[in-house]
Amino acid sequence: GDGESLGVIDLFSQAVGRLERLARIDSSMTAAGEQAQSLLEQLSDLSRELQDYVENLEFNPERLAEVEERLQLVSNLKRKYGDTAEDVIAYGEKAQTELDELSDWEVKTAALEADEERLLRQIGSLGAALSVARTAAGEQMARQVEKELADLRMAHTRFGLSLEQSAQDDGAILPNGRRVHFDSSGVDRVEFLISTNPGEPLKPMAKVASGGETSRLMLALKSVLAHADATPSLIFDEIDQGIGGRVGSTVGEKLWRLTGQDVENPTSLRHQVICITHLPQLAAYGDLHLSVNKRVYESEGDLRTGTLITALHGDTRLNELTQMLGATTQAGRQSVQEMLDEVAGVKGKERRTAQFA
């Protein structure tokens, strides 16, 4: 009720009172009066439950906004860290464990810094020892390279190595306390130096040597380092520049020795050597002689230019070497044949010597 009109329970209570008075007049209505009384009691109980429910209802717009915000947060977490709430919780526990491990970061940082310094001192010690070994090996290699260059008509050429170290604040710590740059090859920056003329100082090879000199320098280096060099293929282009026939024969022999053929297995090579040359004394040492020529041909009505590569054997090789020598007479052919026989003798002697050893 609202004060002006009676509520359901009040109206029903009036009806029950009237049924009770009616039952006193007509006993047949006694059962109906009792049933009405029971219903009134049930309705009263229901009214009290509804009243309690209404009194306990809380309408709080701020709480609603808080819940919706929380649901949005859960949705964002699931989108970022897992498909389910369990996945999100597991990720959170893992992150908390990592955070706990970082809680003593100052102690761990100090330990890592001490370990870093120890390792940098160790690198510096190894690098310094490597520098000493490099210096000694460089002196020995320089003398051997100069000897090879003398055979290649560069008798007055001096060869040397420059080992430099650059300072770096966080670099390796040398035994003398200096901090220097380092990488996987050590603490040194190695550079080859040469002087091609008497009286001139040693200068970086890359800035001084001409094309032909560079090829011969590389041949000298490869000859000295043949056993240590793991490069499978070596290519020499125009290495015969500026040299004559006698030196050309020496160059050819050195190139052939770079292959390091095994006597018991002639197909086994230490290096594959490819040489582009116009000097017959050098070409005679090749185990395979290829002639490369430019040719013009017609294709679909148009002239095209291509390259023709031909493997030379027997008389065709003899003819090619004769033309390279510039003496196409019978005497020239005889000279080329003698040159090939001399080369075969050198190769055979070398293989017999290696086999005996």
SS3 for 148?
helix
CA distances from 145 to 20, 64, 158 (A): 135, 88, 9
* pLDDT for residue 242: 67
Could you tell me what percentage of the chain is helix, strand and coil, using 3-state DSSP and rounding each to the nearest 5? 60, 15, 25
Phi/psi for 291 (5° steps) reads -100, 125
Dihedral (Cα; 247, 253, 255, 259), 10-degree rounding? 180
Given pLDDT bands bounded at 50, 70 and 90, which one contains residue 352? low
* pLDDT for residue 247: 79
* pLDDT for residue 223: 83
Q: Where are the beta strands (DSSP E) in the chain?
A: 158-164, 167-173, 179-180, 189-195, 203-204, 233-237, 272-276, 289-299, 302-312
Dihedral (Cα; 34, 37, 38, 40), 10-degree rounding? 160
| Residues β-bridged to residue 237 | 276
Calpha distance 171→148 (Å, rounded)? 38
Mode of pairing for the β-strands spanning 289-299 and 302-312: antiparallel
Q: What amino acid occupies position 104?
A: D
pLDDT higher at 214 or 143: 143
Range from 44-48, 89-93, 171-175, 262-266 carrying the lowest mean pLDDT: 262-266
Q: Output the average pLDDT for the chain.
A: 86
* Residue closest to 78 by CA, chosen among 69, 87, 70, 67: 87
pLDDT higher at 318 or 234: 318
pLDDT digits (tens, 9 = 90+) for 100-128: 877 777 888 888 899 999 999 999 999 99
For residues 51-58, give the mean pLDDT.
Answer: 84
Query: Which of 1-15, 128-142, 146-160 is modeled with the greatest confidence?
Result: 128-142
> Cα 264 vs. chain centroid, distance in angstroms?
39
Q: For residues 171-195, b (16+ Cβ closer than 10 Å) or e, as one string?
A: bbbbeeeebbebeeebbbeeebbbb
Given pLDDT bands bounded at 50, 70 and 90, which one contains residue 268? low
Output the six-digit token pair for 305.
């230019």
